[in-house]
């Protein structure tokens, strides 16, 4: 059908939730580390990319140090023909995504479904170009558990580092809750509409109270120009960079979401300045006259920043106001103009939850019946509902007093690093890991020649 000889490809069919991850770990990864060029035509949504990425990195160690990345001019269908003259070492695999998921955030952000939506991205495979896929990693506290079977089961995070990688979204608060709540057969039959249905139940509790207020200390790591200068001049790393984590000045939150993509759904533009590759049209300004602290955005007026991560966050608000703000995201990302909304570029996000239950009541602290349940019987399952983290649709439940630290780039395992202590006040990663984070491209993706 594609004009590719049958002898030059294999077909992998999924038989379980672990099929893609196992394929990446057992086949894709070893081939890449053996210097074999590979192109994967992935018939999936964002979840398939997530599984592929985490499987690929499941067995990776220090042998990925200087990958060869295909240039933008390299045609994706030429990748498998250029291996004989290459030296040995890691060769970054390339994926061509045929969007068969629910939200298809990556495909919509890339624009692969706009010109020829009926092709589901197949046209891009032949007429696209190869770009490194920006990714991030999240390190979780020891008691964090992966939720499976529609949230009924809790499992240890795969691997021994408590690390999960992502390429789309990292969230805490309303977004994480609605993704978790909508992960059921009853909701999935409604497709992408299930997210709006779950959001309505969270925003407008049956007792008429305020939406839940998510407690915790949220800190951000901003891009630091002095770090770049140090890297270029003296090669300083880690704590020598003098990293500064800034706390968001509140203890309660409604929405905390970091992303590398512009759209979480076809029309839902969560981050106007995010892009995997630069689109052909200008992006509306997000400058705010009411918010001098975000002057950094004014300097980026009309630009899309390739491969950069942006954080969207706002405090507890009435359900009607949150609904109004999020509706603006369907209007070309106009929600970022709102005074209550924080929107800024970040290199990392750290979330630390309180170790005790919330003993307060009143507006902004969740529904009244929820608070009473917590006070009366300390129901762990009831209270744990609000301790969820979302990474590309995967839900992780933190323990009381648990934490998670997310940073751009891949996490490369090291025998000298084990996540067994709470996050230190400076960098959580040794110098050799940070060096690889900046140098490594783990996975490539085929993007359209002309974006949107």
Contact 274, 109 (CB under 8 A): yes
Which tokens hold the place of 135?
A: 């990714």
Per-residue pLDDT tens digits for 122-144:
677 667 888 899 999 999 999 99
In tens, the pLDDT along 386-444 reads 999 999 999 999 999 999 999 998 885 543 333 323 333 333 333 333 333 333 478 99
**What's the mean per-residue pLDDT of the chain?**
75
Ramachandran assignment for 333, one of left (phi > 0), alpha (psi -120 to 50 degrees), beta (any other): left
pLDDT greater than 50 at residue 303 = no
Residue with tokens 């999924």: 14
Distance CA 47, CA 29 (A): 18
CA angle 126, 130, 135 (to 5 degrees): 135
Give the pLDDT score at 288: 45
**pLDDT tens-digit map of 211-266:** 999 999 999 999 876 544 434 443 333 444 568 899 999 999 999 999 999 999 98
Q: What percent of the chain has pLDDT over 90?
A: 44
* 6 compared with 247, residue with greater pLDDT: 247
Smallest CA-to-CA distance from 62 within 94, 36, 90, 27 is with 90
| Cα 230 from Cα 236, distance rounded (Å) | 6
The 3-state secondary structure of 429-448 reads CCHHHHHHHHHCCCCEEEEC
pLDDT category of residue 358 using cuts at 50, 70 and 90: low
Long-range contacts of 333-336 (CB under 8 A, 24+ apart): 333/262, 333/269, 333/270, 333/271, 333/272, 333/284, 333/286, 334/284, 336/271, 336/272, 336/286, 336/312
| Length, in residues, of the chain | 452
Average pLDDT over residues 155-165: 90
pLDDT, average across residues 349-368: 66
- 94 close to 31: Cβ distance less than 8 angstroms: no
């Amino acid at each position: 059908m594609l004009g590719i000889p049958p002898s030059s490809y294999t077909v992998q069919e999924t038989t379980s939730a672990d099929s893609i991850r196992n394929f990446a770990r057992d086949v894709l990864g070893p081939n890449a580390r053996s210097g074999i060029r590979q192109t994967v035509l992935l018939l999936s949504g964002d979840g398939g990319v997530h599984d592929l990425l985490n499987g690929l990195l499941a067995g990776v160690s220090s042998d990925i140090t200087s990958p060869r990345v295909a240039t933008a001019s390299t045609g994706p269908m030429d990748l498998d023909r250029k291996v004989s003259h290459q030296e040995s070492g890691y060769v970054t695999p390339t994926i061509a995504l045929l969007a068969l998921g629910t939200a298809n955030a990556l495909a919509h952000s890339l624009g692969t479904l706009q010109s020829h939506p009926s092709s589901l991205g197949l046209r891009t495979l032949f007429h696209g170009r190869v770009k490194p896929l920006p990714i991030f990693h999240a390190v979780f506290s020891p008691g964090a558990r992966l939720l499976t079977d529609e949230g009924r089961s809790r499992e240890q995070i795969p691997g021994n580092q408590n690390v999960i990688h992502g390429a789309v979204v990292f969230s805490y608060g309303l977004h994480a809750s609605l993704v978790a709540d909508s992960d059921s057969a009853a909701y999935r039959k409604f497709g992408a509409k299930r997210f709006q249905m779950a959001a309505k139940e969270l925003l407008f509790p049956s007792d008429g109270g305020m939406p839940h207020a998510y407690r915790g200390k949220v800190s951000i790591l901003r891009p630091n120009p002095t770090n770049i200068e140090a890297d270029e001049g003296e090669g300083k790393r880690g704590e020598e960079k003098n990293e500064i984590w800034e706390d968001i000045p509140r203890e309660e939150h409604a929405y905390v979401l970091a992303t590398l993509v512009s759209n979480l759904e076809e029309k839902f533009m969560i981050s106007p300045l995010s892009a995997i590759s630069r689109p052909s049209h200008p992006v509306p300004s997000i400058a705010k006259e009411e918010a001098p602290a975000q002057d950094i955005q004014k300097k980026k007026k009309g630009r899309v920043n390739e491969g950069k991560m942006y954080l969207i966050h706002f405090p507890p608000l009435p359900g009607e106001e949150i609904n109004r703000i999020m509706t603006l995201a369907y209007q070309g990302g106009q929600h970022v103009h709102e005074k209550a909304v924080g929107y800024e570029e970040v290199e990392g996000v750290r979330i630390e939850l309180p170790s005790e239950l919330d003993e307060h009541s009143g507006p902004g602290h969740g529904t009244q019946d929820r608070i009473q349940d917590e006070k009366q019987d300390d129901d762990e399952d009831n209270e744990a509902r609000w301790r969820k983290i979302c990474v590309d649709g995967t839900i992780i439940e933190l323990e009381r007093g648990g934490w998670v630290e997310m940073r751009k780039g891949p996490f490369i395992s090291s025998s000298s690093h084990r996540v067994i202590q709470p996050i230190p006040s400076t960098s959580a990663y040794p110098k050799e890991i940070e060096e690889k984070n900046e140098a490594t491209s783990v996975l490539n993706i085929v993007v359209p020649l002309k974006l949107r």
